[in-house]
Amino acid sequence: MINLNIDKFDDWPSPTITKRLIYLGFIVLMVNYPIIIILTLISNYPATFMESQLSFSGAVIKSHFLEMNAEQILYYVFYQISDDIYDFCHLCIFIGLSLFLARKFDEDSRWRKMGYWMAIVGIIGTISDLTENSLIIMMTTDPQGFPDVWAIAHSWLAVVKYIMWAIQAVWIIWADVKLYKNKEFTIKPFLAVIGVVFAQHWTSVVFGLLYLFGVDLVAIVHG
């Protein structure tokens, strides 16, 4: 049985390192995100990424690869690697924010412990996405012959990712508002980080969760 001592997060990583993680993630994200957009475009993937991630079907993904040439598939692999860098940014920013906010609550309080658990939830979401990306890269090595179970597993990992990240993001907003209302700290130093990252993060999470219920907002936006 795994026994997690979440009270370790009281002082690990240190408050200084926690803030540096947030800023590091934000800076790398600003450099990496345009690269993700460019690779998305030049890979010419023939479907929305929601259709791919949540298809639960090897046949569907194989049909997508069938419309791509070898060069486009290579760019698609580079996109997955760039997305791994995004995962690093996401991990730094959202774990940093979870710990930063949690430590503003009273010691041994429910809110503080929830924040520490949210950091772990974020780690689970990130590991899910990294594993999902690895499966996609494995599928590209044999675009028409990979085992269908890889596609099914990669879709389930996407579901776990969206749920974990949504839970973590909701807690961060909720805790942020609670602290702000109680005037226990000023939000200003983190306003830019929260605004930019949530704008992108919530686009991904909301689009993914809605797709599970049959609403493909990516396709609607692109007409």
pLDDT in tens, 175-203: 888 887 776 665 554 554 565 566 566 56
Q: Positive or negative CA dihedral for 53, 57, 63, 69? A: positive
Position with higher pLDDT, 183 vs 170: 170
Nearest Cα neighbor of 61 from 134, 10, 136 is 136
Is residue 112 situated within a structural domain? yes
**Residue 189: its pLDDT value, please?**
44
Q: How far is 56 from 52, CA to CA, in rounded Å?
A: 8
Across the range 203-208, mean pLDDT stands at 65
DSSP conformation class of 10: G
Q: Higher pLDDT residue, 205 or 135?
A: 135
Mean pLDDT, the chain, whole residue set: 85
> How many separate domains does the chain show?
1
3 part of a folded domain: no
Position 204 in a domain: yes
- The full length of the chain comes to 223
Structural domain including 95 reads: 8-221
Task: With respect to residue 13, please indicate whether it lies within any of the assigned structural domains.
Answer: yes
Between 92 and 221, the more confident residue is: 92
Whether residue 2 lies inside any domain: the answer is no
Identify the pLDDT of residue 172: 86
- 161 within domain boundaries: yes
What pLDDT does residue 192 have?
47
Q: Is residue 116 part of a domain?
A: yes
- Does residue 1 lie in a domain region? no
